[in-house]
Structure 1
Amino acid sequence: MTEAMGTRATAPWRYAIGMFGTSIPINMIKGSMILYYVDILGLDVRAYAVVMVIYAVMDAIDNPILGYLSDRTRTRFGRRRPWLMIGAPLLAACMIAFFSAPASLDGLGLVLWFAVFAILCEAFDSMLNANYGALLPELYPTERRRAVANGLRQGFQLVALVISLALTPLLTTSVFGTENTTVGFTTTAIIYGSIAVAVIWFMALSARENPRYSTLVRPPLWSSIGSIVRNPLFWKVGLIGACYGIAMAIVLAGLQLYVKYSLGLPVAMALYLQAAVIVVAAAGLVGWTRLVARWGALRTWRLAFAVLALSFVALFFAFDLVSAICAGALVGIGWSGMLATNDLIVVRVLDADAETNGEHREGLFLSAFGFFGRLNSIVTGLALASLALFFGYESGDAPGSDPGMAFRVYLCAYPLVFTTVGAIAARFLQVPEPPADRADAEGPPEDAPPVRVEGES
């Protein structure tokens, strides 16, 4: 089977590098928002939780609309590229504003600033990721090629994570600022935003959309949404994937404060723990991608889920930086497996929908899956608010009597529960193979002429 009949194939690395650009802004936001707003600026965790719930509701509404508009877009530049070109600078600008809260703000003013720019950042991130993710099944119809492209893009994401997570605490608290000031966050956000725009634009201009996917038929909104929500696979894959997403969102949000309170170390030392997790995850992508080629995405995904769940037990009992790094390496192995497989499971659902309904509406479908991603924000916020109830942690100004145990529970116990549920549920899930793979297995029709795609790489 060819990658895209009638159009020159896009080299996997050109598509994959886009993940580097889309990952830097949102991971700085999610990885530093609690430290910036709660621990430094003094935003109450209960206000944080309320904003996260509102933000999730708003995002659940705008996600399908953004995906629907993308699927209906018809331009000479394609369906997805215009949205990527517009969304990148908008996200960068909102991220800079998010980390530039005026020093005079407090109380309701601080809450409103946090809420407005958190919601805008998530909306523009959703715009980017719905369109970027929709290109994967279009550019690479077979699972083997998808696994290569996905492995490469997850590798680029991990490089971005080294920068936006592991390096950020050092830049914000030591290079450009201090542990008790915010100026370092603004400077870092400007640098990251500029890099993200340049990379996303390069990827968007390099990707060659397949005109066969952009038909004259424009899928209607409500009937499309109705058929999606009636699809049992949508709910099964979405809810199981949410267990993984929620766990990693909690880890992303709380790691810096886990280092500060649970390990009793300066926040800048989070660099070493984050770097260890990311380096192990990056190294593991090669092995997991090969396992996908041998076992298929579904079986490999189930194994990765189980490994990730077990890793949080070790992290709970870490008592210093060395033991935390060792436990973090286990997290990296399981996380690497999920990175290599989770999107492949989601894309199988998109393939099945297109085959059944005869319409390529990847943007709307991925945006609908974004509904489950919004659960990450709600649960992360509620989990943080629970620390006030169980441990008395309200903010950096009122950390309670045992913030160390509070963030040990937050970072390890909560993710353990979610990933265990997901790993068990994944054992019972069945998803169809991609149509292109089935066609390859069956072989071409006897009278089918050979098809050659120029520029195959």
Structure 2
Amino acid sequence: MTGPQPPSSGPSSTHPARYAVGMFGTSIPINMIKGSIVLFYVDMLGLDVRLYGIVMVAYAIIDAIDNPVLGFLSDRTRTRWGRRRPWLLVGAPVLALGTIALFTVPESLDGAGLVVWFATFAILCEAADSMINANYGALLPELFPQESRRAVANALRQGFQLLALVVSLALTPWLTTSVFGTEETTEGFTITAILYGVLACAVILYMTLGVREDPRAVHAPRTPFLPTVRAILTNPRFWQIGVVSACYLSAMGLVLTGVQLYVRYSLGLEVAYALYLQGVVILATVGFLAVWAKVVRVKGAPFTWRLSLVLLTLGFVPLYLAHDLITAILAGLCLGVGYGGMLASNDLVIARVLDEDTAVHGAHREGIFLAAFGFFGRLSGAVAGVALASLGALFGYYSGDDPGGQAGTAWRVYVCVYPMVLAGLGAVLSLLIQVPTNHREHPRL
């Protein structure tokens, strides 16, 4: 382990917008998967929720293994193109092809064959997404060490993420069920996945080719695997902030995976109407994000983070009480207030943990550290699997072929009650922990 080194200033040649646009590409395919996978496999293809839950648990276990491994390999990569860029160049086409395959199921598949197809390509997409985001996220603290400039870059990339959500969540129900297909057919999902995959790959490649990594980080000594893992696992900040982040991401993961079926069963509308609910909420969140970015600059990321979690928790109450499209949209706007705050602050809080590790240990291991944090985020898949499986036991909803008599209540609980409990837990925990200072900006603190 080397001694502490001066903080890296990061290369000034990388424009925040060029870096931020990458979030648009990384978000499109993975959010189509999160937003439509339950509708596609469970409600349309008839995959039993219990089998879905088993696959998601396996997904989380594999993710727990590949995330730190991919991050570690990224930190140790030394090429003339940098540490992160080669992985991004490989991950982009793999994610695109995996997404297309996931939504292109041969008509002859059912039973065990359908489960195997789903598991194979869901896990492939997970691995590609882990590869991309471990490297993309690790660039944020390296390229933008000052929190004021980092906040700008983060706000821009979260804005691009919201734009991607408009495309991959709000437009998807309309494209898949009204433009390229119908409420009962799957062809629309295949065509939409192809469009999203090509667009995402092009954007990620454009971003990657415009990033200029810090040469001091590229030439830093390689850190060994086991001591690095030990340092992460024994760091209390990792567990404290990681668990809070997991609560937030799992809560929003449930909303993303269930909103289309909430519209179908809880509101009694066609899935295509999810366009209006998701579209209005996401576009409004863009405005909230701009306000929260100012709050970050004035009050700091930790204050914004804690307040946003409280508001996010309260936002699920009106969503539970909504009974038609108009009241659901109004409720969604309330939810968007807290969501915008978390988009503006959560990654900044995590970046401070990476800064502290670099300042204290003098090792540039942002990739493995962020990949380890990514495990908490990807726990949302396992949480969604368990929550979905519970709908069968509690409400009799097992699939679109066997929805039971309480499907409306089931999806209201899935989209509103479960997320509210998770966000509330995160809010309480956030008030009990200490967030580190920005050690790149204030190295002597």
Normalised by the length of structure 1, the TM-score is 0.95
Specify the code of the residue in structure 2 equivalent to 1:208.
Answer: R
Out of 336, 339, 344, the residue aligned to residue 340 of structure 1 is 344
How far the C-alpha of 1:6 sits from its partner, in A, is 7.7
**In the alignment, structure 1 residue 271 sits paired with structure 2 residue 248:** no
Shift of 1:216: 4.4
Tell me, yes or no, if the aligned pair for 1:68 and 1:363 is still in contact at 8 Å. Answer: yes
Give me the whole-angstrom Cα distance separating, in 1, the residues matched to 2:56 and 2:168.
21
Report deviation, 1:3: 10
**How far, CA to CA, are the matches of 1:96 and 1:375 in structure 2?**
23
Q: Distance in 2 between matches of 1:162 and 1:3?
A: 37
SS at match of 2:442: helix
- C-alpha contact (below 8 Å) 2:10/2:213 kept by paired residues: no
Tell me, yes or no, if the aligned pair for 1:3 and 1:9 is still in contact at 8 Å. no
Matches of 1:5 and 1:348, distance apart in 2:
15
In the alignment, is residue 124 of structure 1 matched against residue 128 of structure 2?
yes
Matched positions, count: 440
Structure 1 residue aligned with 2:162: 158
| CA distance in structure 1 between the partners assigned to 2:93 and 2:367 by the alignment | 20
Deviations 1:245-278 (A, max 9, x none): 1100000000000000000000000000001110
1:56 paired to 2:65: no
Task: Supply the distance in 2 between the matched residues of 1:345 and 1:216 (Cα, whole angstroms).
Answer: 24
Residues 97-132 of structure 1 deviation map (CA, whole Å, 9 limit, x = unaligned): 000011111100000000000000000001000000
Q: Distance in 1 between matches of 2:268 and 2:38?
A: 18
- The answer for the alignment partner of 2:3 in structure 1 is none
1:383-434 CA-partner distances (Å, limit 9, x unpaired): 0000000100000000011100000001000001001111111112211211
User: 5 Å matches for 1:79-228?
Assistant: 79-228=83-232
In the alignment, residue 131 of structure 2 is paired with which amino acid? M
The yes-or-no answer on 1:293 pairing with 2:297 is yes
Q: SS state of the match for residue 272, structure 2?
A: helix
State whether structure 2 residue 335 is matched by structure 1 residue 331.
yes
Shift of 1:8: 3.6
- 1:399 aligns to 2:423 (yes or no): no
In structure 1, distance between residues paired with 2:391 and 2:59: 20
Amino acid at match of 1:311: G
Indicate conservation of the 8 Å contact 2:151/2:293, yes or no.
yes
Cα distance in structure 2, aligned partners of 1:195 and 1:184: 17
Q: Deviations over 1:215-258 (max 9, x none)?
A: 34111111100110000000000001111011000000000000
Residue in structure 1 matched with residue 82 of structure 2 by the alignment: 78
* Distance in structure 1 (CA, Å) of the matches to 2:9 and 2:53: 48
Q: How many Å separate the matches in 2 of 1:324 and 1:374?
A: 27
Cα deviations across residues 127-183 of structure 1 (Å, max 9, x unaligned)? 000000000000000111111000000000000000000000000011001111111
User: Which letter does structure 2 place at the counterpart of 1:433?
Assistant: T
Q: Which residue of 2 aligns with 1:437?
A: 441
CA distance in 1 between counterparts of 2:97 and 2:208 reads: 19
Aligned partner of 2:84: which letter?
R
Counting only pairs closer than 5 Å after superposition, residues 236-315 of structure 1 correspond to structure 2 as 236-315=240-319
Distance in 1 between the 2:233 and 2:416 partners?
A: 32
Distance 1:166 1:247 in 2: 19
CA deviation vs aligned residue, 1:281-315 (integer Å, no higher than 9, x gap): 11111110000010000011111000000000110
State how far apart, in whole Å, the 1-side matches of 2:10 and 2:200 are.
31
Amino acid in the other structure paired with 1:137: P
What code does the residue aligned with 1:40 have? M
Alpha-carbon RMSD across the aligned residues, in angstroms, is 1.3
How many angstroms apart in 2 are the aligned matches of 1:194 and 1:352? 38
Instruction: Judge conservation of contact 1:3–1:139 (CA < 8 Å) in 2.
Output: no
Distance in 2, matches of 1:413 and 1:111, equals 28
Preserved CA contact (<8 Å) 1:138 1:210: yes
In 2: Cα distance, 1:46 partner to 1:7 partner: 49
Determine the C-alpha separation between the residues in 1 that align with 2:436 and 2:300: 11
Letter in 2 for 1:106: D
Distance in 2 separating the partners of 1:257 and 1:102: 24
Gap runs ≥5 in structure 2: 1-5
The answer to whether the 8 Å contact 1:42/1:397 transfers is: yes
Q: Are the equivalent residues in 1 in contact too, given 2:9–2:144 (CA < 8 A)?
A: no
Give % identity. 60
CA contact (8 A) 1:35 1:256 kept: yes
Contact kept, 8 Å, 1:318 with 1:327, in 2: the verdict is yes
Matched, 1:36 2:40: yes
Q: 1:27 is matched with which residue: 23, 26, 31?
A: 31
SS at match of 1:71: helix
Counterpart mapping for 1:5-16 below 5 A: 5=9, 7-16=11-20
TM-score normalised by the chain length of structure 2: 0.97
Deviation string 1:62-88 (CA, Å, 9 cap, x unpaired) is 111100110000001000001101100
- Residue 46 (structure 1) aligned to one of 34, 41, 50: 50
How far apart are residue 4 of structure 1 and its match?
6.0
Letter in 2 for 1:222: L
Cα distance, 1:9 vs structure 2: 3.0
Q: Which runs of 5+ in 1 are unaligned?
A: 443-457
Contact map agreement 1:40 1:396 (CA 8 A) in 2: yes
CA distance in 1, matches of 2:11, 2:409: 56
- Whole-Å Cα distance in 2 between the matches of residues 10 and 131 of structure 1? 16
Three-state SS of the structure 1 residue aligned to 2:441 is helix
| 1:447 alignment partner in structure 2 | none
